Amino acid sequence: MKISNGRTRVGAALVGVALAGTLVSPALAGTPVAGSDATGRQRPAACTGTGVDPAAMVAAIQGLPSAEATAAQVRVSTGAGCWTGRSGVLDLRSEAPVPADARFRIGSVTKAFTATVVLQLVAEGRIGLDVPVQRYLPRLLPADYPAVTVRELLDHTNGLPSPTLPESIEWQLAHRFDRWTPEQIVRAGLRNERAFEPGDMQHYTNMGYIVAGMLIERVTGRSYGHEMRERIFEPLGLRDTYVPGSDPTIRGPHAHGYQTVTRGGRTALVDVTNWSQTMTPAAGDMISTLADLDTFLRELFAGRLLPAAQLDEMFTLPKVSDVGGGPALYSVGLTAFPLPTGEVLWGKSGARYGYSAAVAASRDGSLRAAYSVNSTDAKGEEQPLITQRIIAAALGMR
């Protein structure tokens, strides 16, 4: 299996159940604006639940746990108000409700954070977007490898090959606590032919962002996780967002993740909450909450993390075709989600075993949505129906 995580699951839905127990929680107390804590740091905005009609969203996430998901959390913010709710169970054994402000694996939503830090370093003059990454990491790629620019790392036009690992879910489960270094991942990928010449087309993979994480560390002299904390988490008051490193657990309140596995002709759900994310450093390893993700997206789109020139890069698509022949939909750190109305939402989706997540917003930030679904086949080819219902309900709340 080539590790690429190349499905635009949310984008497909935008353009286009056997266990008992349900909880749908109303919004948390607070006001739909951000404030500052005693240290002067920003804190995530809370939701009052006023100003929006959540009926469609409540219907979208009810009935959990089900065959396709054991829990769901949603947060939607509009110009009129904000609503957040949750459904399902903390775990199948206790059937306790999903905790408020539960943490979850955000998968490839991590890429939006990584791209933001790289663009901050660009704004500081420490990195050039059109400079070959070989200048910063001179021994990473073979000497005769074609030049790969930093921009090509971030907009998936780099052509870097991904490692090939067994397809079997049983192999994945058996190796879920393996520890990888970024260098090991790159070396494993380079055993394969490159997908295309750098800059010729677009193909979504993790590899560009794994290298981008290495780039951050080389330029700053500090770990990727340290730079995330110093540059994004702490300034925005994101207390529940962190880089797990080699820790396979989810710290703090969270709902368990499960994966459907067929053994001996019988289907069972395996608890996959604990899983090393060292295979996706800077590309898909982070843990967060809905409130933190909403704050990050709001502040990013409002220009509070990046100067205008660098922020524009996140809303600019490369002028190439996708390897499948369609239009390029990935910018630096974000994904364009075209709607049938002609509007475009911008955001990012992600999936790790047991967890599917996404964030999306209008360019002016007047509509923002974030969800986490504890999908029982989060890495499967088909998007769960519940996420399609969530997306449709969110669009209807504008």
Tell me: the pLDDT tens digits for 197-254? Answer: 999 999 999 999 999 999 999 999 999 999 999 999 999 999 999 999 999 999 999 9
Q: Which residues contact 312 (CB under 8 A, 6 or more apart)?
A: none
CA distance 34 to 36: 7
Decide if 237 contacts 44 (C-beta within 8 A): yes
Return the pLDDT at 145: 95
Q: For residue 150, how far is the Cα from the chain centroid?
A: 20
Residue type, 178: D
Task: Identify the CATH number of the domain defined by range 9-396.
Answer: 3.40.710.10
Work out the burial of residue 361: count CB atoms within 10 Å of its CB; fewer than 13 is exposed, 13-18 middle, 19 or more buried: buried
In terms of Cβ atoms closer than 10 Å to its own Cβ (0-12, 13-18, 19+), residue 125 is: exposed
- The tens digit of pLDDT for each residue in 95-131 reads 999 999 999 999 999 999 999 999 999 999 999 999 9
Mean pLDDT of the chain: 89
pLDDT for the residue 12 = 46
Span 296-309, mean pLDDT?
A: 98
Burial of 191 by CB count in 10 Å (0-12 exposed, 13-18 middle, 19+ buried)? exposed
Write the DSSP assignment of 325-371 as a string of letters: SSB--B-SS-EEEE-TTS-EEEEEEEEETTEEEEEEE-TTSSSEEEE
Asked whether residue 4 carries a pLDDT value surpassing 60, the answer given is no
User: Is the pLDDT assigned to residue 196 strictly greater than 70?
Assistant: yes
d(CA 41, CA 100): 22
Count Cβ atoms below 10 Å from residue 183 Cβ, excluding itself: 13
Tell me whether the omega of the peptide bond preceding residue 198 falls within 30 degrees of 0, making it cis. Answer: no
Dihedral angle of Cα 78, 81, 87, 91, to the nearest 10 degrees: 90
Confidence of residue 2 (pLDDT cuts 50, 70, 90): very low
Q: Residue 196 carries which DSSP code?
A: S
Looking at residues 271-288, what average pLDDT do you find? 98
∠ CA 92-246-248, nearest 5°, is: 5
pLDDT at 44: 53
Which pLDDT does position 45 carry in this prediction? 56
Domain locations along the chain: 9-396
In order of 35, 230, 231, 234, 352, the CA distances from 38 in angstroms are: 10, 18, 19, 13, 35
Helix (H) or strand (E) run with residue 218 in it: helix 207-220
| Residues in Cβ contact with 342 at an 8 Å cutoff, skipping those fewer than 6 apart | none
Return the closest-CA partner of residue 109 out of 328, 389, 370.
370
Distant-in-sequence, close-in-space partners of 168: CB < 8 Å, separation ≥ 6: none
For 249-268, the pLDDT digits (tens) are 999 999 999 999 998 889 99
Q: Would you please indicate which residues are annotated as catalytic (active-site) residues?
A: 108
The string of pLDDT tens digits covering residues 6-56 is 444 444 444 442 222 334 443 322 223 344 444 444 555 568 777 889 999
Nearest CA-CA partner of 87 in 77, 97, 78, 101:
97
Rounded to whole angstroms, the Cα distance separating 57 from 284 reads 27
